[in-house]
């Protein structure tokens, strides 16, 4: 009984630590102090870092992660750690909402106008239309969602996109397989 209680307490401590870390990161982003350290970052390398971190979890859940990358390396001005956080939050959400045996798609593309685009598509039930905007607000969760998260991952990802001069949005509200698209200004060589 002691072990079970201690295990439960440690789990709660981990959850609270992550919550505090996310709130602190949001405060730093809002202060704008990080943008002075921006350098060119390869989006492909950022996606590959996230994939390496999440592949064991995907395998444990019997999920396939498919990727599509353009031939050209898409670079944006930013901080790789923040972009990895943005992509990690999107992939983490996709893993939580895709049933076992399903597929997640991650696409990089040069968008019309020359911007870089990243799309993460899960295999879950989708997000109702009425939540398409408010899911980017802090602590908001879609009713019936049993993910056990704090509701800070998407707001943090959206703030990181904004800090990088971009935008994160839900591209297909009300449809199965939530598709999150992030548009970021590209660095041209």
CA 112 to chain centre: 23
Q: Are 106 and 117 in contact (CB under 8 A)?
A: no
Listed as ranges, residues in the chain with pLDDT below 50 are none
What pLDDT score does 52 carry? Answer: 94
What pLDDT score does 152 carry? Answer: 77
What pLDDT score does 109 carry? Answer: 96
Angle at 122 between CA 139 and CA 93, to 5 degrees: 30
Residue 180: closest CA among 58, 81, 89:
89
Taking the C-alpha atoms of residue 73 and residue 46, their distance in angstroms, rounded to an integer, is 11
Q: Are 137 and 127 in contact (CB under 8 A)?
A: no
Q: What is the DSSP letter of 69?
A: -
What pLDDT score does 31 carry? Answer: 61
Taking the C-alpha atoms of residue 176 and residue 165, their distance in angstroms, rounded to an integer, is 29
What pLDDT score does 139 carry? Answer: 73
């Amino acid at each position: 009984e002691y072990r079970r209680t201690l295990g439960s307490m440690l789990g709660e401590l981990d959850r609270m630590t992550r919550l505090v870390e996310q709130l602190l990161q949001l405060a730093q982003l809002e202060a704008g102090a990080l943008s002075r350290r921006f350098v060119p970052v390869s989006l492909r390398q950022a996606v590959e870092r996230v994939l390496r971190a999440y592949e064991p979890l995907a395998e444990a859940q019997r999920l396939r992660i498919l990727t599509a990358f353009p031939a050209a390396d898409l670079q944006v001005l930013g901080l790789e750690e923040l972009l990895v956080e943005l992509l990690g939050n999107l992939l983490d959400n996709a893993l939580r909402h895709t049933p076992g045996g399903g597929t997640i798609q991650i696409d990089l593309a040069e968008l019309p106008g020359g911007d870089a685009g990243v799309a993460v598509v899960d295999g879950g039930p989708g997000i109702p239309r009425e939540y398409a905007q408010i899911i980017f607000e802090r602590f908001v969760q879609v009713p019936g969602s049993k993910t056990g998260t704090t509701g800070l991952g998407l707001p943090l990802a959206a703030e990181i996109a904004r800090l990088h001069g971009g935008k994160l949005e839900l591209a297909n509200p009300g449809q199965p397989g939530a598709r999150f698209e992030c548009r970021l200004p590209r660095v041209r060589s």
